[in-house]
């Protein structure tokens, strides 16, 4: 009788373990394929450029946030704009994974977090080309003195390299290489995909999602 009980118990535990593993793997696959479905493409607009972020997956991307990193020389490339930009000669720092904003028609035209539905593309504000500088927006949107909004940074017009990062509640982090070329009268932006790789990210994506959610909560306006 004891042997029968142990056999039943072990069978139940094995079944529960198998169910748990199946759920975890199934969830991992959903996150992986939704993450792979994210694409980005530069889009010219009058006086600037934005990036279209596409969701080619079978479910919505929840609470998507865009971040930007740009390589520049803090002692040479910054343009003064103390009241209108977070980064400038008044505050020399690198631009590393700072928030951008989305461009949508709503009561708040520049939200920093949105959902992207299945088959939908949303525009991420990226750069404005002025006569004497280029402007990178912040999560507040573009510089606007009357509304007390500041852009992220003003930079001299030349060629810059960097990256765009998309993080969301239910996807892995997606990174795209970025080139902004404002040299010699140019106004060009190139966005190219960086491969999503790493077996651990594939098999344990919920850990990465949790990590990104925690990071989003910690990152405030800068």
- What's the farthest any 2 CA atoms get from each other in the chain? 87
- Looking at residue 5, its pLDDT comes to 47
Give residue 167's domain range.
2-218
Sheet holding 151-155, edge to edge: 38-45, 48-55, 121-129, 134-136, 151-155, 85-87
- Looking at residue 4, its pLDDT comes to 60
Intervals of the chain under pLDDT 70: 1-27, 106-109, 196-222
- Helix (H) or strand (E) segment spanning residue 86: strand 85-87
Q: For the residues of 2-61, what is the DSSP string, one character each?
A: HHHHHHHHHHHHHHHHHHHHHHHHHHHHHHHHHHHTEEEEEEEETTEEEEEEEE-SSSPE
Give the chain's mean pLDDT: 82
d(CA 222, CA 64): 19
Q: How many domains does the chain have?
A: 1
- Looking at residue 23, its pLDDT comes to 55
pLDDT tens, residue by residue, 137-166:
999 889 998 888 999 999 999 999 999 999
């Amino acid at each position: 009788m004891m042997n029968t009980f142990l056999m039943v118990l072990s069978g139940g535990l094995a079944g529960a373990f198998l169910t748990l593993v199946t759920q975890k793997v199934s969830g991992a696959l959903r996150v992986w394929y939704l993450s792979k479905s994210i694409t980005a493409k530069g889009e010219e607009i009058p006086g600037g450029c934005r990036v279209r972020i596409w969701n080619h997956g079978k479910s919505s991307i929840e609470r998507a946030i865009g971040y930007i990193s740009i390589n520049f020389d803090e002692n040479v490339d910054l343009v003064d704009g103390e009241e209108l930009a977070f980064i400038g000669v008044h505050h020399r720092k690198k631009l590393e994974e700072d928030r951008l904003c989305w461009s949508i028609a709503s009561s708040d035209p520049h939200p920093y977090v949105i959902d992207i539905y299945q088959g939908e593309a949303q525009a991420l504000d990226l750069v404005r080309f002025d006569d004497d500088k280029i402007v990178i927006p912040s999560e507040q949107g573009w510089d606007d003195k009357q509304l007390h909004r500041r852009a992220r940074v003003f930079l001299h017009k030349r060629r810059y390299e960097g990256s765009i990062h998309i993080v969301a509640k239910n996807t892995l982090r997606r990174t795209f290489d970025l080139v902004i070329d404002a040299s010699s009268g140019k106004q060009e932006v190139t966005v190219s995909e960086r491969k999503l790789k790493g077996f651990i990210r594939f098999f344990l994506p919920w850990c990465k999602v949790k990590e990104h959610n925690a990071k989003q909560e910690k990152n405030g306006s800068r």
